[in-house]
Amino acid sequence: MNIVVCVKHVPDATADRKFESDNTVDREGVDGLLSELDEYAVEQALQLREKRSDEEISVTALTVGPAKAADAVRKALQMGADKGVHVSDDAIAGSDYLGTSLVLAKAIEKIGSEQKVDLVVFGMASTDASGGVVPAMVAERLGLPQVTLASVIESQGDQVRIKRDGDTATEVIGATLPIVLSVTDQSGEARYPSFKGIMAAKKKPVESYSLSDLGVEASEVGAEAAYSAVEEATARPPRTAGEIVTDEDGSGATALAEFLASKKFI
Amino acid sequence: MTMTEQQEGTTHAAFTESEERRELRQAVRRLAGTYGQEYFTRQARSGGKTTDLWLDLGKNGYLGVNIPEQYGGGGGGIGDVAAVCEELAAQGCPMLMMVVSPAICGTVIARFGTEEQKQRWLPGIADGTETMAFAITEPDAGSNSHKITTTARRDGDEWVLSGRKIYISGVDEAKNVLVIARTEDARSGKLKPCLFVVPTDAPGFEFQAIAMEMVSPEKQFTVFIDDVRLPGDALVGHEDAGLVQLFAGLNPERIMAASFATGLARFALDKATAYAKERTVFGDKPIGAHQAIAHPLAESHIEVELARLVTQKASALCDAGDDMGAGEAANMAKYAAGEAACRAVDRAIQTHGGNGATQEYGMAALLVASRVMRIAPVSREMILNFVAMHSLGLPKSY
C-alpha cells in the first residue's frame, strides 16, 4: 500500500508571526515547524503501517513550500515516514487554496505514476491559514472520495471506516480505497521523533520537484492566479488589563453579575 | 559538538552542535515541557515518583541514546545523553537518574561488560524498565575513593559482598545497583577496585532514605550490604582492570552533572528573565530595564554559556575516546557548571523578590539542587586540587 501524507511547514505559533510587504505570510524570517495538526496525519499513517505490518506499506511525506519547508518533511521522516517529496518553486509563493491543491494533486499523481497511491492523509487544517478546505479540493482534483475530519480510523483490506464527531451526532463513514482522508486532533497523540528516528531520517530519500516536473504552468498558481488577496493586516491589539472587582462590603457578587450581564454572558 | 567540520588553516572545529543533536534537544524539550516543573515538584512534595516521565523518555529512545543500538539504545554518545539531561533540567525536570543509569552504568557495562552482561542489563537501562543505580561513596571514605572498604570475597563460583554506601541516588527506583567494591589481590594482598551488579532485592541488601532538603522525587539512600551472595557473572569486566573501568564511568558522570547544572541554570534564568520583562514596579518600565536586574542575569547567561561550551568539549573528547583529555575538561565543566548554576539560581530568586521564596514561583525549590552541584559528584575543592596538580603541575596538597 502506498500512503501519501501531506504536511505543511508553518510559522511557529508561539513566536512572533509576521506578514511580508505584499501581505503574504512571512515564511523565511520566522521559525517554522511541521504544523501540529499535520503531526496527527503522520501519526495515523504510521499507525496504519504498524497495524498492518504483514503488508508492504510505504509512507511518503509530501510538502509544498520554500526551502525551509523541507524541515516539515524531515520531521515526518524522523517520526517514521519512509521517504519525502518537496515541491518548491518561486512561482508557487502566494498561492491560494486552489493553487495549493493543484500543486499537491499533481505531485500526488506523479508519486502515483511509480506506484499507485491508495491513501492520501491530511491534517484537519493548517495552523496558519486554518482553511481546512485543501483535502476536499485535492480529492476533487484526483477524482477520489473525501473522508474528512476523522477522529477514529479503522481499516481492513481496501475498506476504511472512520468516526466523525459533530456537534450533535457522531457519524460513522465507510469508504473503499483509494481515498483522501483528513484526521482531527482527537485521532491520537502524535509520537515524538526518537533518537534513532532523528539519526535515520538523514539517510531517507527526499525528492525535489519543481512546477515543470509536475507539468503545472507558473501562471496557474501563485499570488497572481489567486482568487483572493489579503488587502490589509493589522496586528492584534495588546491585551488590556481586566476589570478587578474588589469586594469590601459584600457587593462583589452583584458587581460580578452586573458585569457578566452587561456583556450578555448571563 | 561536531568535530568533523574542520576548517582550513589553524582555525578550530565548528562550535555548533550537529543538526541531529539540536533536533534531539528540541524533541526532548517538547516532551519534557508537557511535564514541566509543576509536575516535578508536585511529585516531589507528595512523595510521588517521576516514573511516568522516565518511562516516556525510555519509550521514545531518549534515555538510552548513548547505549549501542544492538542493545536497545540509540547508538549515540555521551554528548547526546548529556543533551537529553540538560534539556530535561531546562524544562524544570532535573533527573538525577539520567546521570547514573544510562550515563555511568550504561557506559561502564557497554565498554567493559561481557556479551551476556550487555544483553542482560543494557536494554532495560535504555528503555528505563531496569534502572541501575551507582554506589561508590562510603561514610568513611568521602571523596577519598582509595579508602573504599566494601569488600568482595570469592566463595567457590560466587562472590560475597559486604560494606556500606552513602548518598546513593534512586536505589528505591532501581532494579540493580552497580557497586564499587574491592577484592583482595591473591598475590600482594592489596585491595583493588571492582564493579558488581547487585539486585536491590538481594538478601542482605538494605537501604534507608536519607532525609534531604532537596525538592526532588529522586531520593538519597544509605545502603547496607551484609554478606550479599552474588553469582560469578555479577562482576563487570575484568577483576584486574577495575580502576580503568571505574574512571570510564566517571567522565560521563561529571559531564552529566555539568549538563544537569547548566539545564537547571537555564531554567532559572528563563523564569527570571520572563519575570523581569513583565514585572513593573516604578513607572511603566519592567524591572528588567534596570541594570541592577539586567546585568546579573546577563552575567549568569555568560557563565552558563561558558560552562556549556566546556561541557560540550568534554563530551566531544569523551566520545572521541580520549579519556585523559576528557578528564580535565569534564572536571572543569562540572566545576564551571556548578558555580554557574548556584549563581543563576541565586540571581533568579533575587529578581523575583519576595516571590522568589514562594512555592508558587518555584525558584527557591531549586536552591538545594543547584547548591549540591558544587558538592556532588565531586566537590569543587577536589576539582581545584585536580586542576592544580594535573593541569598546573603544583604539588599535591593532601
Residues A178-191 pLDDT 10s: 999 999 999 999 99
Contacts of A265 (CB under 8 A, 6+ apart): none
Task: Tell me the pLDDT of chain A averaged across its residues.
Answer: 93
Domain boundary among B242, B257, B282: B242
Q: Are residues B94 and B26 in the same domain?
A: yes
Would you call A229 an interface residue with chain B, using a CB distance cutoff of 8 Å?
Answer: no
- Output the domain CATH number for residue B237: 2.40.110.10
Write the single-letter amino acid at B165. Answer: K
Domain A2-225 part of CATH 3.40.50.620: yes
Write the pLDDT tens digit of every residue in B102-147.
999 999 999 999 999 999 999 999 999 999 999 999 998 877 777 8
By CA distance, what is A191's nearest residue in B? Answer: B60
Q: Do B310 and B254 form a contact (C-beta atoms < 8 A)?
A: no
Q: Are residues B164 and B70 in the same domain?
A: no
Query: What percent of chain A has a predicted confidence (pLDDT) above 90?
Result: 74
B229 within a domain of the structure (yes/no): yes
Domain boundary among B85, B109, B131: B131
B279 within a domain of the structure (yes/no): yes
Q: Which A-chain residues 202-221 have CB contacts (< 8 A) with chain B?
A: 202
> Which of B30, B60, B80 is facing A194, going by the closest CB pair?
B60
Strand-strand pairing, A146-150 and A152-156: unpaired
Q: Are residues B340 and B298 in the same domain?
A: yes
Range of the domain at B146: 135-242
Divide the 398 residues of chain B into consecutive groups of 10 and give the mean pLDDT of each group.
Answer: 50 77 95 97 96 96 96 96 98 97 96 95 97 94 81 93 96 97 72 90 97 96 97 89 81 97 98 97 93 98 98 95 92 98 98 97 97 95 95 92
By CA distance, what is B28's nearest residue in A? Answer: A192
From residue B87, give the alpha-carbon distance in Å to each of A88, B31, B51.
34, 10, 18
Q: What is the ipTM of this complex?
A: 0.81
By CA distance, what is A71's nearest residue in B? Answer: B23
User: Cα separation of A95 and A223, whole Å?
Assistant: 5
- The secondary structure element, H or E, covering residue B182 is strand B176-184
Q: Are residues B32 and B116 in the same domain?
A: yes
Q: Average pLDDT for residues A23-46, to the nearest whole number?
A: 90
Would you call A78 an interface residue with chain B, using a CB distance cutoff of 8 Å?
Answer: yes
Interface residues from chain B to A (CB-CB < 8 Å): 20, 23-24, 27, 30-31, 60-62, 65, 69, 74-76, 80
The answer, yes or no, to whether residue A264 has pLDDT greater than 60, is yes
The helix/strand/coil state of B395 is coil
Q: Are residues B233 and B258 in the same domain?
A: no
B211 within a domain of the structure (yes/no): yes
User: Which chain B residues are Cβ-neighbours of A191 within 8 angstroms?
Assistant: 60
- pLDDT value at position B324? 85
By CA distance, what is B83's nearest residue in A? Answer: A195
User: Which chain B residues are Cβ-neighbours of A197 within 8 angstroms?
Assistant: 61
- pLDDT value at position B397? 84
Q: Are residues B115 and B231 in the same domain?
A: no
Burial (CB < 10 A; 0-12, 13-18, 19+), residue B65, is buried
The answer, yes or no, to whether residue A224 has pLDDT greater than 50, is yes
B83 within a domain of the structure (yes/no): yes
- pLDDT value at position B5? 46
B14 within a domain of the structure (yes/no): no
- Output the domain CATH number for residue B377: 1.20.140.10
Q: Are residues B255 and B387 in the same domain?
A: yes
Write the pLDDT tens digit of every residue in A109-137.
999 999 999 999 999 999 888 899 999 99
- Mutate which: A191, A198, A204, A239, vs B, most B CBs within 10 A: A198
DSSP string, B60-76: TT-TTTTS-GGGTS---
B12 within a domain of the structure (yes/no): no
Q: Are residues B266 and B223 in the same domain?
A: no
Domain total of chain B: 3
User: Cα separation of A125 and A132, whole Å?
Assistant: 4
Cα dihedral across residues B115, B117, B123, B125: positive or negative: negative
Q: Are residues B278 and B367 in the same domain?
A: yes
Give which of B245, B249, B225, B243 is closest to B139, Cα–Cα: B225
Q: Are residues B322 and B254 in the same domain?
A: yes
Q: Are residues B80 and B97 in the same domain?
A: yes
Q: How far is B163 from chain A (nearest CA, A)?
A: 39
B196 within a domain of the structure (yes/no): yes
Q: Are residues B80 and B219 in the same domain?
A: no
- Output the domain CATH number for residue B59: 1.10.540.10
User: Which chain B residues are Cβ-neighbours of A196 within 8 angstroms?
Assistant: 61, 69, 74-75
By CA distance, what is B30's nearest residue in A? Answer: A192
Q: Average pLDDT for residues A90-103, to the nearest whole number?
A: 95
User: Which chain B residues are Cβ-neighbours of A78 within 8 angstroms?
Assistant: 23, 27
B398 within a domain of the structure (yes/no): no
Q: How far is A191 from chain B (nearest CA, A)?
A: 8
The larger pLDDT score, comparing residue B174 to residue A255, is at B174
Q: Do B390 and B383 form a contact (C-beta atoms < 8 A)?
A: no
CA count, 13 A, side-chain hemisphere, B272: 32
